[in-house]
Chains A and B, each alone.
Chain A
């Protein structure tokens, strides 16, 4: 499979179809594994990294889940192509900085991606739409079991799977969900939620993981610890916390509708106006405004069938995607113009906000709120 195929197919996890998809954009689980008695990628010399890569790669390509896969050495991808994969969360930012001795392999549906020689010899990642952490783990567990018959993984009876960074030792598992929480942000409750979540040993991060800013009201929540708790316990605990946050987000939206409806309509109207008429837009501004439109779709202010084109804009307006689509390298100013142009074109299909339809947060079947009309 070629890179152009990756580019033309949006990842299946993007097509919001999973449970709670209005609020949980995606679920992902990753497992870190290493070969026994071989230097970790950060410490191995280039020749050793290459030999590890050559040892691992054929086993991955043989997996039934990886039939018709995209498999590429990092040195054979351009900086722009790597960035496209980062923007789709198929490789990490750290992996994008790698070259000789590293590789990525992913399935056609872009629901499974494996990085070779990232921080660990193997970083296997499974992605799903909506809240489906358990299902994402199940697939990885199966692949991991198939691979352990072929490769000898570094494992210790007491410490579990051994990883380059001690923060991942034990299960080597990081489960995370990307949540869209405009209600909690608009009602200024988000900091409380973030603090409460941090207190119970879970981490909250921005759009692209560790150390990144929260843009577009998108937050990643994940387990912080990997030792001393079983995989399914970690996932059950995380899922429960996410379900609580989903409830809080629905509550916040109801309160906004009932008590601060003017502010809410103002936000939606402004987002619609700026996105429809602006001629220059940074990716941060685009994400923040698109987030409000997405909220508007959840609240029936915009028709439901426009959800997918709006969701796709979240990815299509990212810097590398813009440049890859236009097939030229653009400076920041040119990108901002092109971004505004693409958004204007896409928003032509979106009717004006209609607050008479409004009114209920259709996500959780909770009682409909009274409208202002």
Chain B
């Protein structure tokens, strides 16, 4: 059991109105969880696993990794209340590291290409297009 002392302003921000009326989701997931879940449309389904917000409310666990993207709105506040920060700063798997670098490079190339086209620098544009094609084939699984 974690005890939290909140001032008026913070308690509103965290969605506490009635201190005696905490929902189960609040107890399990931190203050404000139940309200966040209510807010989202309960008909939304995860395209990968078919999970809904109602399922989450019941189980307190998600259906699959894609649920994080599907229910991102509801989860953001929840994660903020639950953790020290809102972004991961720890270990990055090699695969994701490489994919992250590649997607950064792709974005840079696309920006350069647009610039080259706008400046009617077609020779550069052609070379950039080749590099993008090469990178696309690298990225393909």
Give the complex CA separation of A77 and B83 in angstroms.
37
Give the complex CA separation of A201 and B82 in angstroms.
10
CB pair B48 A37 closer than 8 Å: yes
- Find residues 144-158 in chain A having any chain B CB closer than 8 Å to their own CB: 144-145, 148-149, 152-158
Q: Using A39-B64, A40-B62, A40-B63 as known contacts, say yes or no to A152 and B84 having CB atoms under 8 A apart.
A: no
Q: Is there a chain A Cβ closer than 8 Å to B60's Cβ? A: yes
CB pair A198 B88 closer than 8 Å: no
Distance in Å from the Cβ of B91 to the closest Cβ of chain A? 6
Residue numbers in B under 8 Å from A246 (CB-CB)? none
CB pair A156 B83 closer than 8 Å: no
Give the complex CA separation of A169 and B61 in angstroms.
11
1/0 contact string of A13-40 vs chain B (CB within 8 Å)? 0000000000000000000001111111
Kindly report which residue of chain B lies nearest to residue A169, judged by CB atoms: B79
Q: Is there a chain A Cβ closer than 8 Å to B78's Cβ? A: yes
Q: Is there a chain B Cβ closer than 8 Å to A351's Cβ? A: no
Give the complex CA separation of A145 and B51 in angstroms.
30
Kindly report which residue of chain A lies nearest to residue B103, judged by CB atoms: A157
Interface size class of B (residues with CB under 8 A): 35 or more
CB pair B94 A156 closer than 8 Å: no
Residue numbers in B under 8 Å from A228 (CB-CB)? 83-89
Q: Is there a chain A Cβ closer than 8 Å to B122's Cβ? A: no
Kindly report which residue of chain A lies nearest to residue B96, judged by CB atoms: A155
Residue numbers in A under 8 Å from B84 (CB-CB)? 201, 225, 227-229
Q: Using A39-B49, A166-B78 as known contacts, say yes or no to A160 and B88 having CB atoms under 8 A apart.
A: yes
Q: Is there a chain A Cβ closer than 8 Å to B2's Cβ? A: yes
CB pair B65 A141 closer than 8 Å: no
1/0 contact string of A169-213 vs chain B (CB within 8 Å)? 111010000000000000000000000001001000000000000
Choose from A37, A166, A171, A231 the contact partner of B64 (Cβ within 8 Å). A37
Give A contacts to B, CB under 8 Å: 34-40, 42-43, 119, 141, 144-145, 148-149, 152-162, 164-167, 169-171, 173, 198, 201, 224-231
Give B contacts to A, CB under 8 Å: 2-3, 29, 48-49, 51, 55, 59-66, 68-69, 75, 78-79, 82-96, 100
